[in-house]
Amino acid sequence: MSLNNENIKQQLSQKFGEHISFDESHEMLSVTVVADQSLKLIQYLFDDEQLRFRFLTDLTGIHYPENKGQELGVVYHLHNLYDRIRIRVKTFVPIEKPDVFTVTKIFLGANWMERETYDFFGINFVGHPDLRRILNADEMDYFPLRKEYTLEDPQRTDKDDEMFGR
């Protein structure tokens, strides 16, 4: 039997039930999981002999300040190299307690990706072996990719639309 999005949905629904929801965009399945089940879901995707999602393509953070109680999120892109299928796993946490379990024991390559996500979004990866800033200065007391910071000085006049004929 060939692995496809419907097979994955069915198998994950049986295992995780009400803890997950699905979305599909551009033929890629997205699974949103509650934060306390995220590590179990990713471990299951890795271990299961039919699913075999054993390559972590990417891990990053997102910030949706308008989603009260779920402002910060972590997005994992996993790849099954055997069946050539990808999946996206998302989990969301409140900005007051941005704790997500680390996946470094499953994917060694997640180490630096989680450090970068912590560095820019402030997501605390519980159980990470060396969670500290990786690109920004250690003395920074904020997380620059959160949407609470403006991208540019609003007082600048050299970028007015009038200067570009708009």
With tokens 């891990």, the residue in question is 59
pLDDT computed for residue 165 by the predictor: 64
Q: How far apart are CA 13 and CA 30, in angstroms?
A: 13
With tokens 């039997």, the residue in question is 1
Pick one of 3.30.460.80, 3.20.20.70, 1.20.210.10, 3.40.30.110 as the CATH number of 5-142.
3.30.460.80
Residues whose CB falls within 8 Å of the CB of residue 23, separated by 6 or more in sequence, listed in order = 29, 30, 32
User: pLDDT tens digits, the chain, 166 residues: what are they?
Assistant: 579 999 999 999 999 999 999 999 999 999 999 999 999 999 999 999 999 999 999 999 999 999 999 999 999 999 999 999 999 999 999 999 999 999 999 999 999 999 999 999 999 999 999 999 999 999 999 999 999 877 777 777 776 667 666 5
pLDDT computed for residue 97 by the predictor: 97
Q: Where are the domains of the chain?
A: 5-142
Say if pTM beats, i.e. exceeds, 0.75.
yes
